[in-house]
Amino acid sequence: MFFSMPKRHHYVPVTYLKNFCDGSGQLQVFRKDDPARPFRQRPESTGFERYYYSQFDDEGTRDDDRLEAIFSEIETKWPTIVTALANREAMFEAAPHIITFLGLMRVRVPAFRDPAELHLGHSVHTQALLMHAAGKLPPLPEGFPDLMEKIQVTIDPQKSLEMMAHALNDMGKLFATLSFDVLHNASDHAFLTSDNPVIYYDPRVPTPAMRPYNIAPDAGRIELLFPVTTRMVLRGRSRPRRPDIGHRTITDRKAIARINRLICRFGYHTIFASDTREASLIAGTAALSPVAQLDRVPAPEGGYYAFGQFIFGPRPDKPKWNGPRERDQKSASPEAPADEPEAMP
Q: What CA–CA distance (Å, rounded) separates 286 from 223?
A: 22
Q: Is 247 exposed, middle or buried (0-12, 13-18, 19+ CB in 10 A)?
A: middle
C-alpha gyration radius of the chain: 22
Pairing of strands 246-250, 179-185: parallel
Residues in the chain: 345
For residue 118, the number of C-alpha atoms closer than 13 Å in the C-beta half-sphere is 20
What was the pLDDT predicted at 6? 60
Decide: helix, strand or coil at residue 206: coil
Q: What CA–CA distance (Å, rounded) separates 189 from 259?
A: 11
Q: What CA–CA distance (Å, rounded) separates 184 from 81?
A: 15
* Beta partners for residue 183, in sequence order: 233, 248
Q: How many CB atoms lie under 10 A from the CB of residue 280?
A: 9
Contact 251, 6 (CB under 8 A): no
Q: What CA–CA distance (Å, rounded) separates 291 from 19?
A: 27
Phi, psi of 333 (to 5 degrees): -70, 155
What was the pLDDT predicted at 340? 52
pLDDT tens digits in sequence order for the chain, 345 residues long: 444 456 899 999 999 999 999 999 999 999 999 999 999 999 999 999 999 999 888 777 889 999 999 999 999 999 999 999 999 999 988 999 999 999 999 999 999 999 999 989 888 888 888 888 788 888 888 888 888 888 888 888 999 999 998 999 999 999 999 999 999 999 999 999 999 999 999 999 988 899 999 987 666 689 999 999 999 999 999 877 777 899 999 999 999 999 999 999 999 999 999 999 999 999 999 999 999 998 888 777 777 777 789 999 999 887 788 766 554 554 443 344 455 554 333
Reduce the secondary structure of 264-325 to three states and give it as a string: HHHCCCEEEECCCCCHHHHHHCCCCEEEEEEEEEECCCCCEEEEEEEEEECCCCCCCCCCHH
Q: Which amino acid is at 175?
A: F
What was the pLDDT predicted at 246? 94
DSSP 333: P
Q: What CA–CA distance (Å, rounded) separates 8 from 15?
A: 15
pTM of this prediction exceeds 0.85: yes
Decide: helix, strand or coil at residue 184: strand
What was the pLDDT predicted at 325? 56
Q: How many CB atoms lie under 10 A from the CB of residue 10?
A: 24
Q: What CA–CA distance (Å, rounded) separates 254 from 320?
A: 42
Contact 236, 217 (CB under 8 A): no
Pairing of strands 223-229, 199-201: antiparallel
Stated as kind and residue range, the H or E segment containing 256 is helix 253-266
Contact 130, 22 (CB under 8 A): no
DSSP 73: H
